[in-house]
Amino acid sequence: MSPGTLAVKVRGLSKLFGDFTAVDAIDLSIKKGEIFGFLGPNGAGKSTTIKMLCGLLLPTSGNGTVNGLDIMKESEEIKKKIGYMSQKFSLYDDLSVEQNIDFFSGIYGVSQTKKIERKEWALDMAGLLDRRKTVTRDLPGGFKQRLALGCAILHAPPLVFLDEPTSGVDPISRRNFWNLINEMSKAGTTVFVTTHYMDEADYCNRLALIYRGRVIAEGTPNDLKQKYMTSYVLEIETDRVVEAMETLNRSGIETAIFGSLLHATVDNMEKAMPRIREVLGEAGIRTERVERIVPSLEDVFVSLIEAA
Amino acid sequence: MIKRIRHVVIKEFIQLFRDRRMKAIIFVIPVMQLIVFGYAVTTDVKDISTAVYDLDRSSESRELFRRLEASGYFRIGYHVSSPFEIQGLMDRGEITVAVQINHGFSSDLKRGNQAAVQVLLDGTDSNTATVAMDYANRIITKYAKDLGTGRIAVSPFGVELRERAWYNPELRSKNYNVPGVIAFVIMLTCLLLTSMAVVREREIGTMEQLMVTPIRPVEFILGKTIPFALIGFFEMLLVTAIALLKFDIPMKGSFLLLFASTAIYLLSVLGMGLFISTIARTQQQALMATFLFYVPAVLLSGFMFPIENMPEVIQYGTYLNPLRYFLVIIRGIFLKNSGLAVLWPQILSLFMLGILVITVSSMRFRKRMR
């Protein structure tokens, strides 16, 4: 892949704090315009990695580029072309919505001609068009979060780093926020996002799982689900759930009830599917449907971390 | 660059005037310090509680007591009849001075013999005791002279002293204290405001946010300090105005020099504030660090205790104390009309100290941005 199509490309990136290795020689390649999810438990090294890419922390070793600029030497240049938003929604609580926007657009050096347009855009995006004079402290969390994002991208950067942007925000606001991320991505912005909400991982184009400073898995959400789950989950729909479960368990197929359905975990899908229909048919139970379902990413990551 | 600094300055002022605590710092500190140094702490000794022990009971002894009281320095509250009473009163702290005139005082005077007056002082407050002794000495010497004998044995000197204090002829401690308040107020407010303002950004996370923007450390530092420099000038004007109007402090020197030296003083004070902000992680720590610096700085400024009396090591330490220089400058301007010709060594030292402090703090600052 030519470097021109990559927003981030790093090799062997490491950060040591004293004896502690926070990030251990990771490689990352992120294509322009994609939503790249960086997942992992707390303390795995997500924030440290982001801080190195943004030029907040000097890497201990490694090399690479962000927007084609050297992370070791050109961090100040990089800062002009990225947006960064952390879980703290770093706004000035005692300034009004408008004053926050004016301040950040001044700091980013947004040109006089674009200033008003960008301000209205940010207000609109945050849903704060009619609350521009409100002191930021008085805003609900979801609005603060969107305002923080707006302030971080007033200069329309081609690459945005979001460090746990949805932590501490209610589910509706989270969903709305992901819609924003999607729109940004469609408009061509590359989004690098960390989260520990596994349901959010499905919104990403590509994922990397970081654990104890190392990337232990990488790929699209579907890749990960298929590649890293060794057994299969089958969903079974019948007219008599409890009897069906008892019958199947007696014949050696592990099942569990999920609502009005049964889930069976099997190693060999090709053999198991006809066998299930056969066993249930012998018992006089009607089988509506047997199909393979995709395990959730949560299952994948739990099994990966346990294996690591 | 100018634009970015301007944005930080504007933001800082908006925050400053929205924060009640900060406003309190700006207005309450000068008023409090003026009250303390203008009214409360005064080294002028007046109305010293005094007991007299008159064994002579003559018109001469009574005249001496009348003169002591009439001076305004001594307030005779007790006429005692035994030395034990004096001891008791002094132990309880009810009197600072006791004057004893023995039997035969008037006859000695009449016969032209040496007459004696005993002045007993509570030496626990050595400052007051010395001043009281001096006053008593003068009054008694004068009395002896008026009697034409010159032979009351209080003054051991055969030489007559004629004292005259220059620049502050009445030796009003206000004249000494109040200009000092300008120095103290500027230091305390600027240290507090600067260190708190920077540390607060670190606490709430906006510092991190700013560090990923293209803002340069120098722009941030200037944007953060310019507002407080302006506040510093405001404080200087406020205290000067009150000093002139309310406390009748003479302002003999040039306002221009006062402005210029304040600007130079601000360099080191703001630099110290910045330095504190690089070591403190929370606003409480910044507050603690400010006072940890401020209190010794005042004590070791030469304001209360002469620097020449301090141990040598400490004396060298005071060279790093901006107050040491600025107090001399400001009193020189207010009371002596000293100009650049006299004050330049102080001003130059203050300037170099300021540059040193600003440089060190900025370097530490840059490191933390990494």
Q: Give the residue among B98, B51, B48, B50 at the shortest CA–CA distance from B73.
A: B48
Asked whether residue A263 falls in the same domain as residue A216, the answer is no
DSSP labels, B277-288: HHH-SSHHHHHH
Asked whether residue A28 falls in the same domain as residue A70, the answer is yes
Which phi and psi angles does B93 have, rounded to 5°?
75, 20
- Bridge pairing between strands A69-70 and A61-66: antiparallel
Q: What is the mean pLDDT of residues A255-273?
A: 81
Taking the CA atoms of A206, A209, A214 and A215 in sequence, report the sign of the dihedral they define.
negative
Residue that finishes a domain, picked among A172, A189, A220:
A220
DSSP assigned state of B115: B
| Residue B355 burial (CB count, 10 A) | 14
Asked whether residue A192 falls in the same domain as residue A253, the answer is no
- Residues A147-168 pLDDT 10s: 999 999 999 999 999 999 888 7
| Cα–Cα dist B222/B216, whole Å | 10
Question: What's the pLDDT score for residue B161?
Answer: 47
Walk me through the domains of chain B, giving residue ranges and CATH numbers. Answer: 2-41+173-369 (no CATH), 48-147 (3.40.1710.10)
The mean of the pLDDT values for chain A is 88
Domain, as residue range, for A300: 229-307
Q: Look at residue B198 and tell me whether its pLDDT is greater than 70.
A: yes
Residue that finishes a domain, picked among A167, A186, A220:
A220
Question: What's the pLDDT score for residue B160?
Answer: 44
- Residues B264-291 pLDDT 10s: 999 999 999 999 998 998 999 999 999 9
Asked whether residue A81 falls in the same domain as residue A169, the answer is yes
Mark yes or no for CB contact B204/A76 under 8 Å. Answer: no
Tokens (6 digits) for B131: 């001043």
Q: What is the total residue count of chain B?
A: 370
Mark yes or no for CB contact A56/B212 under 8 Å. Answer: yes
Nearest chain B Cα distance for residue A45, angstroms: 17
Asked whether residue A109 falls in the same domain as residue A237, the answer is no
Tokens (6 digits) for A167: 């932590």
Candidates B209, B211, B215, B222: best to mutate against A (most CBs of A within 10 A) is B209
Candidates A60, A85, A90: best to mutate against B (most CBs of B within 10 A) is A90
Q: Look at residue B340 and tell me whether its pLDDT is greater than 80.
A: yes
Confidence band of B149 (pLDDT split at 50, 70, 90): low
Exposed e or buried b per residue across A230-245, where buried means at least 16 C-beta atoms within 10 angstroms of its C-beta: eebbbebebeebeebb
Taking the CA atoms of B124, B127, B130 and B135 in sequence, report the sign of the dihedral they define.
negative
- A137 in contact with B at a CB cutoff of 8 Å? no
Residue of A nearest to B369 (CA): A56
Asked whether the beta carbons of A26 and A10 are under 8 A apart, the reply is: yes
| Cα–Cα dist B104/B82, whole Å | 17
Q: What is the mean pLDDT of residues B40-66?
A: 84
Taking the CA atoms of A282, A285, A288 and A293 in sequence, report the sign of the dihedral they define.
negative
Alpha helices in chain B (DSSP H): 2-18, 20-35, 59-70, 83-91, 105-111, 126-147, 173-204, 206-211, 217-245, 255-279, 283-299, 312-317, 322-331, 340-369
Asked whether residue A211 falls in the same domain as residue A245, the answer is no
Asked whether residue A53 falls in the same domain as residue A187, the answer is yes
Asked whether residue A256 falls in the same domain as residue A193, the answer is no
- Higher pLDDT: B303 or A130? It is A130
Asked whether residue A70 falls in the same domain as residue A165, the answer is yes
| Cα–Cα dist A10/A71, whole Å | 9
- A88 in contact with B at a CB cutoff of 8 Å? yes
Asked whether residue A129 falls in the same domain as residue A84, the answer is yes
Asked whether residue A253 falls in the same domain as residue A300, the answer is yes
Return the CATH number at A177: 3.40.50.300
- Residues B18-30 pLDDT 10s: 888 888 888 888 8
Return the CATH number at A287: 3.30.70.270
Confidence band of A308 (pLDDT split at 50, 70, 90): low
Mark yes or no for CB contact A107/B215 under 8 Å. Answer: yes
Q: What is the mean pLDDT of residues B335-348?
A: 88
Candidates A47, A79, A107, A153: best to mutate against B (most CBs of B within 10 A) is A107
How many folded domains does chain A comprise?
Answer: 2
Asked whether residue A110 falls in the same domain as residue A194, the answer is yes
Q: What is the mean pLDDT of residues B147-169?
A: 53
Question: What's the pLDDT score for residue A4?
Answer: 67
- Residues A20-44 pLDDT 10s: 999 999 999 999 999 999 998 888 8
Confidence band of B73 (pLDDT split at 50, 70, 90): confident
Q: Look at residue B152 and tell me whether its pLDDT is greater than 60.
A: no
Q: Give the residue among B173, B243, B324, B197 at the shortest CA–CA distance from B30.
A: B243
Which of A56, A91, A104 is the closest to B211 by Cβ? A56
For residue B178, how many C-alpha atoms fall within 13 Å in the half-sphere facing its CB? Answer: 27
Confidence band of B138 (pLDDT split at 50, 70, 90): confident
Q: What is the mean pLDDT of residues A76-104?
A: 91
Mark yes or no for CB contact A76/B206 under 8 Å. Answer: no
Exposed e or buried b per residue across B227-265, where buried means at least 16 C-beta atoms within 10 angstroms of its C-beta: bbbebbeebbebbbebbeeebebbeebeeebbeebbebb
DSSP assigned state of A138: G
Sheet strands (E) in chain A: 6-17, 20-31, 35-39, 61-66, 69-70, 82-85, 159-163, 190-195, 206-211, 214-219, 232-238, 255-258, 261-266, 287-293
- Bridge pairing between strands B117-121 and B97-101: antiparallel
- Which of A121-125, A270-274, B29-33, B361-365: highest mean pLDDT? A121-125
Contacts (Cβ under 8 Å, ≥6 apart) of B253: B332, B333, B334, B336, B337, B338, B339
Residue that finishes a domain, picked among A220, A242, A263:
A220
